[in-house]
Structure 1
Amino acid sequence: MWRDHTLIVVALCLSFIKLLMKNTYRSTDYEVHRNWLAITHSLPLDKWYTDTTSEWTLDYPPFFAWFEFTLSWFAPLFDPMMVKVNKLNYVSEASVLFQRLSVICADFLYLYAVYQFCMTCVVKRVGVSNRPAIINNSNLAIGVCLMTNFGLFIVDHIHFQYNGLLFGILLLSITAMYQANHMTAALHFATLLNFKHIYLYMAPAYGIYLLRIYCFSSSQKDGSVLWSSFSIKRFLGLAGLVVSIFGTSFGPFIYFGQLGQVLSRLFPFKRGLCHAYWAPNFWAIYNMADKLLYIAGRKLDLISVSNHSASMTGGLVQEFEHAVLPSVTPVATLLLTVTFMLPTLIHLWLNPSGPRTFIRSLVICAFTSFMFGWHVHEKAILLVTIPLTLLSIDSDDYCRHFIFLSVVSHVSLFPLIYTQFEQPILFAGFGAYTLYLLSTLPHLLPQSADKKSQWAFSRLEKGYMFGLLLVMLYYSVGHSLMGLNETLPFLPLLLMSVYTSIGISYTYVGLYSTILSHRMLKKIVSGKRKVKAQ
């Protein structure tokens, strides 16, 4: 019972800390969501996805629009002016307080989902004796890691978004999957997709696992698929559930003849391959390689003058062509994403040996989409780090991958908060979270002998971490001290993006190799379908 109380206390303390962030930096996402409050409150339903009064048009799926609509009825109690469509870039102390409080209150779904998962699904394990329970108990450790995820904290409670609400729905779905409540899991995930469509990154893992586990039965002999065991009733029930959720969400806009308009808002391919600050993925490395080849070609008089390469680093959200390497299209990113997803999806189909196998595939699907997707935001790395937390004490490899990725990905989010006042918060919060990971997770691994040496970072990883520290120092103070702000204003962002993309790419390859070991790949190639025990 004390464990239950500990997580509740952590949740309440964390909520109080979030309250202290009320007057910290807020991004343009504050105005985005304020405008959505105004749109859904002041305009009729058929105008929600057509209004262009503000540049921050509504571009989330309908369930999130209804969430904003619900909030908009409470907003006038704080400040009636904040729900006026024509009040562009409106800010008041009361409006900021309301929106900050709305994120904190929405976060309680996430805190509840973490509590439910940790109390029912985490394998109970106690580490070294004579240590405080909060760092010596698996239920508490995973719960604290999830609740205090530093990336989620700065994105939602400083930068300003509602990701906690969305990850709460995701964790409720995963919890239902662990409990073999497959229809409930599908219900939650279909609902989530209609809140924010970025979770399509995870949809292939859900589709394959639910089809294989829920709609098929396996023989007891070798785990192979018995096609005669396919249940049309279960399949239709599952499909009917998903269709009904999407029908409820998009139905009114289909009635208004606006389905195409809504979809064009959800998938704006004209925004270009990369965001203004390159997400630290494969395309950051690709863009940098193109830039270096362009510079080398100019020096050697092999390439004529072009503005394309310069536009990549101009801090603008737009389409551009690469100067030397082949330019990338949305179709190309889709093909790459699907290609790199296939091994984990095949493995999931052949080895549906429990919810942990599903989580592994879920993580890889999200990671692959982050690495190769079109116009990926740097914040999307949270779709990898939060589910990966659930695997962090499964083995030495998962522990090392999770801690390494957490460090690199959190540093990659620093450019979101560039104001001086928040810098101590960033470094203190990042340091505290990293210290908690290092002092807790390695001691909860299932092995009993010499845990530290088994999970420890390699020399290569330690060298990279040292380089990451230098990049952080250059980004924070070095560039300004060298007087390069005027001549090379985007160099710190460029360096941060490319360097962290190397670390994240390294983790992607290592994590994929861990999940799909050589032995597992041989089984896929040879067609063997024996289910490996968890």
Structure 2
Amino acid sequence: MAAPSVDPGSWFLALALGVSLLKTLFINAYHSTDFEVHRNWLAITHSLPVSRWYHENTSEWTLDYPPLFAWFEYGLSHFARHFDDKMLVVENLNYCSPATVLFQRLSVIFTDVFFIYGARECCKCIRSPKGASDILNSPSFVLAVLLLWNFGLVVVDHIHFQYNGFLFGFLLLSIAKHLQSQHLQGALLFAILLNLKHIYLYVAPAYGVFLLRSYCFTQDRSDGSIRWRSFSPVRLVALGCIVVGVCALSFGPFVAMGQVSQVLSRLFPFKRGLCHAYWAPNAWALYNVLDKSLATMAVGLKLVSETTLPRASMTGGLVQEFRHSILPSISPSVTILCTLLSMLPALASIWLRPRGPRGFLRCLLLCALASFTFGWHVHEKAILLAVLPLSLLAVENREDAGIFLVLATTAHYSLFPLLFTPAELLIKFALMLIFTIFSFAALSRLHSASGSLLRPSEAFYLSGLVVVAVGCEVIFPLSPWQQKMPFLPLLATSAYTSLGVGYSFLRLYATILRRDGGKSKRS
């Protein structure tokens, strides 16, 4: 039986209000092209009939999120017109009045209420030690800070500009419902989330296998083993109705208009290339570096002529297709195959040895990391899909805490290239330093057993991030290499952080394999 959880009280509200006030300080900070993307979507959904939403292409930033998010933008647009109705004109490309900036920044802050609520529900699910009286050192308090004050989420949403907090709120609520054994509600929330942003397909296999195995089959543990006792068609139908019902509500109007293929072509634009403009720290970043290194060596040894090699466009910061110079070029089908193969052991684990909601959460993390590591055109921001849920395991388990420290520190530094203007240099360093120090200190207090949470090799690797940061953020901009090799900091950051993310992926997998081998306690 799980230890009792702690209901977050006034301290949770104070944490939420504090981070919300912090976010208001960034209203006039740098914002990326995503700011114009969402302004354009406000204009499209407000000014045009539904039939034209997924055909409109006045701007290069066409609507490419699922229909429920389009309706979300439509709802926001009715508030936006009270700030500055000119932002809702489709032809007003790159429109950025002070009122527009204020509205869009506030819209992210206010819709974060979903994330705050999701974080609160997750904190209720955390097991607390018996007799624990110090709230500041309780697992639920530490989790609240790790979620609400997460460095990556703050800078990506409230400086770079996106609505990830709103979306992660649905994911956290869904996870909380499964931890509370309210599986139908968890499935409903995830179905809604998928129809808000399709990147959450990364973890859909974990949901599908877990719900089919642990909800549609009842289990008998009375003799210490797990046997398939009976299959419930009624439960399967209930789950099917939820998924089909949400998808029908989302895509129904476009089915009626015969536009499903047009919507899907926007959602899955495979012509955008293997890697995003800012390389995500995954296997393909290392593959690109290896290809570039081999090409340089081949030219230097005069094995090939530089003029015969394909131009190495993947480091130009552009979203486009490209061919590798020496290594075979990667197709979408190859990335899909690699992703599915890397998920299979985790999915097989929760099918053959169900361990309840926390086993599902571990599988969800592995599916997220598998998709991030091998997926096609992965955005660097997608690493938060693993960092945030891992926080729940980190406050309960010592080994998971060590993995979290490596993954979160590495992943958060990998986001630095998103904020490249000098004005944000001190902000991103200060925010990450504060969050990282808290993470190390708080998790070390929670898991107070002797010894460090990190292995020596992990501590050495993380110390290398300091060297990379100083080189890329301080030394390189002052060097003559800035003009000759402008891609170098991005290449170095992606390659180095790819090692940390990949290591965390493998170490998290090891925890499942050991449990399957019976060498550790069941989650």
Per the normalisation by structure 1, the TM-score is 0.93
> What are the equivalent positions in structure 2 for 1:136-151 lying under 5 Å apart?
136-151=137-152
Instruction: Determine whether 1:52 maps to 2:57.
Output: yes
Q: What is the rounded CA distance, in whole Å, between the counterparts of 2:130 and 2:315 in structure 1?
A: 49
Aligned to 1:99: 104
Q: CA deviation at 1:496?
A: 0.8
> What are the equivalent positions in structure 2 for 1:16-415 lying under 5 Å apart?
16-118=21-123, 120-125=124-129, 133-134=135-136, 136-220=137-221, 221=223, 223-226=225-228, 229-305=230-306, 306-415=308-417
Q: CA deviation at 1:533?
A: 3.5
Match for 2:178: what amino acid? M
Q: Verify the 8 A CA contact 1:62 1:249 in the aligned structure 2.
A: yes
> What are the equivalent positions in structure 2 for 1:398-437 lying under 5 Å apart?
398-437=400-439
Higher mean alpha-carbon deviation, 303-312 vs 240-249, is at 303-312
Q: Deviations over 1:450-503 (max 9, x none)?
A: 2xx0x4322222221222111100111111222211111111111111111111
Q: Indicate the RMSD between aligned Cα atoms, in angstroms.
A: 1.9
- Flag structure 1 segments of 5+ consecutive residues without an equivalent: 524-530
Of residues 502, 514, 520 in structure 1, which corresponds to 2:516? 520
Of residues 498, 505, 510 in structure 2, which corresponds to 1:508? 505
Q: What is the rounded CA distance, in whole Å, between the counterparts of 2:225 and 2:197 in structure 1?
A: 36
Q: CA deviation at 1:509?
A: 1.2
Q: Verify the 8 A CA contact 1:183 1:238 in the aligned structure 2.
A: yes
Q: Secondary structure at the match of 1:78?
A: coil
Q: What is the rounded CA distance, in whole Å, between the counterparts of 2:181 and 2:435 in structure 1?
A: 32
Q: Deviations over 1:422-461 (max 9, x none)?
A: 111111110110111111112213xx642xx0x4322222
Aligned to 2:471: 474
Q: What is the rounded CA distance, in whole Å, between the counterparts of 2:401 and 2:61 in structure 1?
A: 40
Q: What is the rounded CA distance, in whole Å, between the counterparts of 1:6 and 1:161 in structure 2?
A: 27
Match for 2:233: what amino acid? I
Q: 1:222 to 1:128 in 2, by over 3 A?
A: closer
Q: 1:364 to 1:2 in 2, by over 3 A?
A: closer
Q: Verify the 8 A CA contact 1:278 1:284 in the aligned structure 2.
A: yes
Q: Secondary structure at the match of 2:30?
A: coil
Q: CA deviation at 1:133?
A: 3.3
Instruction: Determine whether 1:443 maps to 2:445.
Output: yes
Q: 1:127 to 1:441 in 2, by over 3 A?
A: farther
Q: Deviations over 1:238-261 (max 9, x none)?
A: 111100100110010011110000
Q: 1:267 to 1:127 in 2, by over 3 A?
A: farther
Q: Secondary structure at the match of 2:81?
A: helix
Q: What is the rounded CA distance, in whole Å, between the counterparts of 1:27 and 1:307 in structure 2?
A: 33
Identity %: 51
Of residues 1, 4, 10 in structure 2, which corresponds to 1:5? 10
Q: CA deviation at 1:395?
A: 2.4
Q: CA deviation at 1:3?
A: 4.6
Q: 1:354 to 1:307 in 2, by over 3 A?
A: same
Higher mean alpha-carbon deviation, 349-358 vs 41-50, is at 349-358
Q: CA deviation at 1:383?
A: 0.2
Q: What is the rounded CA distance, in whole Å, between the counterparts of 1:171 and 1:3 in structure 2?
A: 15
Q: What is the rounded CA distance, in whole Å, between the counterparts of 2:153 and 2:498 in structure 1?
A: 19
Q: CA deviation at 1:522?
A: 8.4
Match for 1:460: what amino acid? S
Higher mean alpha-carbon deviation, 229-238 vs 193-202, is at 229-238
Match for 1:336: what amino acid? C
Q: Deviations over 1:270-325 (max 9, x none)?
A: 00000111100010001111111111111222234345252121222111111211
Q: Verify the 8 A CA contact 2:216 2:232 in the aligned structure 1.
A: yes
Q: Secondary structure at the match of 2:393?
A: coil
- Flag structure 2 segments of 5+ consecutive residues without an equivalent: 1-5
Aligned length: 516
Q: CA deviation at 1:521?
A: 5.3
Q: 1:363 to 1:312 in 2, by over 3 A?
A: same
Q: What is the rounded CA distance, in whole Å, between the counterparts of 2:39 and 2:184 in structure 1?
A: 35
Q: Secondary structure at the match of 1:77?
A: coil
Per the normalisation by structure 2, the TM-score is 0.95
Q: 1:280 to 1:449 in 2, by over 3 A?
A: closer
Q: 1:241 to 1:77 in 2, by over 3 A?
A: same
Q: Verify the 8 A CA contact 1:128 1:443 in the aligned structure 2.
A: no
Q: Secondary structure at the match of 1:218?
A: strand
Q: Secondary structure at the match of 1:229?
A: strand
Aligned to 2:480: 483
Q: What is the rounded CA distance, in whole Å, between the counterparts of 1:181 and 1:278 in structure 2?
A: 38
